[in-house]
Structure 1
Amino acid sequence: MGKTLVEKIWEKHVVRSIEGGPDVLYIDKHLIHEVTSPQAFAGIEKRGVPVARPQQVVATADHNVPTLNQHLPIREELSRKQVEKLTENCANHGIELYGLGHQYQGIVHVIGPELGFTQPGMTIVCGDSHTSTHGAFGAIAFGIGTSEVEMVLATQCLMQSKPKLMRINVEGSLNKGVVAKDIILYIIAQISASGATGFFVEYAGSAIRSLSMEGRMTICNMSIEMGARGGLIAPDQTTFDYVQGREFAPKGEAWNKKLADWKELYSDADAQFDEEININAADIEPMITWGTNPGLGIGINGHLPTTETLSEGEKRNLKKAMEYMGLQEGKTLKGMPVQHVFIGSCTNSRIEDLRMVADIVKGRRKNDNVKVMIVPGSQQVAAQVRAEGLDKIFEAAGFEVRQAGCSACLGMNEDKVPAGEYCVSTSNRNFEGRQGAGARTLLASPLTAAAAAITGVVTDVRELLG
């Protein structure tokens, strides 16, 4: 019987199988940042254990960093201490750090691919749930907890149980105004925020193959939002073209050897999945979430659900989400005023995302009642924005262009949404308080976010596309 892509990669990285227990899995690349690494470093130092393979660890500061005046000391005390501790730990253990001021600093899941650290066939971990982003390259990539960060620092290995396997096929052509973010929001709305719990998901089908690497990263990034351990896409020529020539990608003969190996990374025709889901791309319209988890989403022209056919438990959850969001069942979101638009995060802060937004807003001006933040995912993306003149387009539209960081994706830094106010966000989570205490988050694509910025209300971007 044939093997799936996950099985092929997994089996090559098993150091030892524990009878009746997990596998000891070798980790090719370990990405770290300032939030989940301090306790892990303290743990190995307390035990007198060195970092096993510092050359396979890459660090950056992203979650807690300010996105204005990064040349100045960080004002918020806890954030400052965490970033300082990361700097100290990396210096003590010989780990490459791209800290504030470095040309490669940025969101950890943006810099890994753009620098060429992320490659097909790898195992990649990070103390961050959205590590699944790197699966877009045909890698097994997943988030780990702080104790596991310590384990990888000490051994370059991790004990993991083999996951169940799911394949989601998206076939056909996408409609106008529909992009990768809409695909994944549609999938999550269809199967729920827990619909892939315990699975590793492979995305396949003609609609997936048609996506750029940036689009594929958006899809894999949000795998965790439907409960999956991770998600991945088989590498192809689009993948190889993206990786080739990047700073830390293989060169010369090493490239040729790697390329030959990478071309074998696909699920065999007779491979068996525990579950398979088929989706017609034509059924997807621009999506937007209305609730307090990413599975509570609808098409832009759809209506909020009603409690009529729900069980008592489901009714309570629905009502709780609507009360927090200040919404009523059965209503539409279209035309609802918003006060904030955030375009950024590890989901949608790459140059393709920002070009997409610039195309919509060029020659237009934002609504006076909306505050708009554009936050590039890395210093390299920020430099590209300037080189292409996108910053001028954004500034002419009244948008605020900030410096690289996680920013308003999460309430761990200065970029928060005020209580009770609505934000159309290109980020990945809409939990209660995710963007600040009492903030109300509507997840959407960069196109839908740009449309809301221009009109001041939830808008079907296709009306602006003509």
Structure 2
Amino acid sequence: MPQQKTLFDKIWDAHVVKSSEGHPDALYIDRHFIHEVTSPQAFDGLRKRGVKVFNPARTTATADHNVPTLNQHLPIKEALSRHQVETLRKNCAEFGVELYDLGHPYQGIVHIIGPELGLTLPGMTIVCGDSHTSTHGAFGNIAFGIGTSEVEQVLGTQCVLQYRPKTMKIEINGKLSKGVVAKDIILYIIAKLSASGATGYFVEYAGDAIRSLSMEARMTICNMSIEMGARGGLIAPDQITFDYIKGRKFAPQGETFDRLVEQWRQLKSDDNAHYDLELSYDAADIAPMITYGTNPGMGIKVTDRIPTVNELKDISEQTSFTKSLEYMGLEPGSAILGKSVDYVFIGSCTNARIEDLRLVAKMVEGKKKAENVEVWVVPGSKQVENQAREEGLDKIFEAAGFQLRQPGCSACLGMNEDKIPAGKYCISTSNRNFEGRQGPKSRTFLASPLSAAAAAITGKVTDVRSLV
């Protein structure tokens, strides 16, 4: 009887070019995404070696981290940001790599443009010099972030050296409660496991609660796999996946597409496949979630109180827990519900797709933002921005006092002009709440687009179920 394999095993094994015991596998890469932050040194390395990009057609570049989200037709103000984007332009022109630059109809956050353009397909290996490459795993592929030296490896050889990670299965079954969306699911899982609980693993998400999700929602979950230390996350493709891909710009068309769908249907774990670790959770136990600390594992149900030092599971966390609450200006054992906020950021590769913007627009239509809050809605790509305008979402946001900006990573990270001021509280739909992540001494609560919209309307941390 042939060995039963996980979905991860099947894809990995199909892409191993060379394997020898005690050494990393040489893994063939189907699609390489690059942006302006982690590619300059890689291109310099090629230049010094006199090496060309091995397969430019399998590399896709875009500008996202350093770009402003207002007046993108003007030169970038910040000198370092401007330099990085200009360097990407020069490198792509010199090495023959397609670039979706500012002003291009396909420009956007690297992990949003791949799926929406049909470049991300089931069964692939996908890498990018960015940890949230795990997003693409929602389509049933192996996608993970790599370092700059590895970016150079892939540009020069279309392969990367990688040790095979362990496998973990996380199953979520049951029905989700009202007001609970994908971001709550993944924040719940990370709160259960901690920010390092999946270190060394590649996670497969399964169960009927996962299968019921849209592709946008699945991408949100896979995106944040990295926030519990995982190498990546993936979900077996199904009809929802195939319907999402069909007809997209660079997706296979016609008979080719139909033939590939039949192959993609085989991309699932065998019934008795072995995982190194298996976990399961009840969807009914998941509530709207929010983080209170400075890593994504420090999360609670929005109606719960912050734990005390004595309630921590791990005694070694006490020092970092105390330091984290001091930074956030919060007290152990206190409620977070009702806490006043200053900024609301709706965007990032976690939650800046059209479905996220629709969720927010539906909640805020006919309402006004609280006076004490500044609200930024940053679409994940030019295509998302255009679609939002076509559907009239921009009018809803404008009437509510929200500012719809242009595509980019924006206030997810302090690498561009969109920074949260020191000491201010921001409810953010992004993926990280590290100290200074959104700007020096800024304070971040991670939450879902629905919870962010509720905070924008009320001016404070709110249980979205009271408004739904």
Residue 358 of structure 1 aligns with which residue? Answer: 361
Q: Which residue of 1 aligns with 2:443?
A: 440
What is the CA–CA distance in structure 2 between the aligned matches of 1:15 and 1:309, rounded to whole Å? Answer: 49
8 Å CA contact 1:121–1:139 kept in 2: the answer is yes
- Tell me, what secondary structure is at the counterpart of 2:309? coil
Supply the distance in 2 between the matched residues of 1:183 and 1:67 (Cα, whole angstroms). 29
Match of 2:102 in 1: 100
Describe the SS at the equivalent of 1:328: coil
Corresponding residue of 1:78: 80
- Structure 2 distance, partners of 1:2, 1:110, is 33
Please say which of residues 350-359 and 303-312 is displaced more in the overlay: 303-312
- Give yes or no for the alignment of 1:39 onto 2:41: yes
- The match for 2:131 among 129, 136, 143 is 129
Shift, 1:309, TM fit: 4.3
With the length of structure 2 as denominator, give the TM-score of the two structures. Answer: 0.99
Contact 1:189–1:298 under 8 Å retained in 2: yes
Q: C-alpha separation between the residues in 2 aligned to 1:309 and 1:100?
A: 49
CA contact (8 A) 1:126 1:142 kept: yes
The CA distance in 2 between the partners of 1:235 and 1:337, in whole Å, is 41
Cα deviations across residues 111-130 of structure 1 (Å, max 9, x unaligned)? Answer: 00000000000000000000
**Residues 160-186 of structure 1, C-alpha deviations (whole Å, 9 max, x = no match):** 111100000000000000000000000
1:27 is aligned, of 26, 29, 44, to 29
- 2:10 paired residue number: 8
The correspondence for 2:174, drawn from 163, 172, 175, is: 172
Sort the Cα spacing of 1:36 and 1:211 in 2 relative to 1 into closer, same or farther, 3 A: same
Deviation at 1:406, TM superposition (A): 0.2
Secondary structure class of the residue paired with 1:278: strand
Q: Matches of 1:312 and 1:92 in 2, distance apart?
A: 53
Shift of 1:307: 1.0
One-letter amino acid of the counterpart of residue 26, structure 2: V
8 Å CA contact retained: 1:18, 1:24: no
* Residue of structure 2 in register with 1:185 after alignment: 187
User: What RMSD, in angstroms, separates the aligned Cα atoms of the two structures?
Assistant: 0.7
What letter matches 2:71 in structure 1? N
Moved over 4 A (4+): 309-312
Determine the structure 1 residue equivalent to 2:92.
Answer: 90
1:379 aligns with one of 361, 377, 382 = 382
1:332 aligns with 2:344: no
Once the two structures are TM-superposed, the CA of residue 244 in structure 1 deviates from its matched residue by: 0.7
Say whether the 8 Å CA contact 1:59–1:97 is kept in structure 2. yes
Tell me the residue number matched to 2:142. 140
State the SS of the aligned residue for 1:308. helix
> Within 5 A, what are the aligned runs for 1:199-278?
199-278=201-280
The match for 1:391 is: 394
The DSSP-based 3-state class of the residue aligned with 1:195 is coil
Distance 1:315 1:226 in 2: 19
Q: Say yes or no: does 1:461 pair with 2:464.
A: yes
In structure 1, distance between residues paired with 2:403 and 2:258:
43
What pairs up with 1:270-309 in 2 under 5 angstroms? 270-309=272-311
Q: Which one is further off, 28-37 or 301-310?
A: 301-310
Q: Does the residue aligned with 1:264 lie in a helix, a strand or coil?
A: coil
**Could you report, residue by residue, the CA deviation over 1:344-384 in whole angstroms, capped at 9, with x for unpaired residues?**
00000000000000010000000000000000000000000
Segments of 5+ residues of structure 1 without an aligned counterpart are none
2: CA distance, partners of 1:145 / 1:162: 16
CA apart distance, 1:314: 2.2
- In the alignment, the residues of structure 2 paired with residue 62 and residue 399 of structure 1 have an alpha-carbon distance, to the nearest angstrom, of 22
Alpha-carbon distance in structure 1 between the residues aligned to 2:317 and 2:69: 39
Look up the equivalent residue of 2:354 and give its one-letter code.
I
Q: Which amino acid aligns with 1:359?
A: K
Which runs of 5 or more residues in structure 2 are unaligned? none
Shift of 1:107: 0.2
User: Secondary structure of 1:383's partner?
Assistant: helix
Deviations 1:122-178 (A, max 9, x none): 000000000000000001000000000000000000011111000000000000000
1:52-102 Cα offsets, whole Å, 9 max, x none, are: 000000000000000000000111111111111111111111111100000
Give distance in 1, aligned partners of 2:332 and 2:282.
27
Q: Distance in 1 between matches of 2:107 and 2:126?
A: 19
1:368 is matched by which residue type in structure 2?
Answer: E
Residue type of the partner of 1:12? A
Q: Equivalents in 1 of 2:443, 2:82: separation in Å?
A: 27
Q: How many residues align?
A: 465
Pick one of 370, 379, 384 that aligns with 1:367.
370
Distance 1:175 1:334 in 2: 19
- Alpha-carbon distance between aligned partners in 2 of 1:150 and 1:315, rounded to the nearest angstrom: 40
Separation in 1, partners of 2:202, 2:315: 31
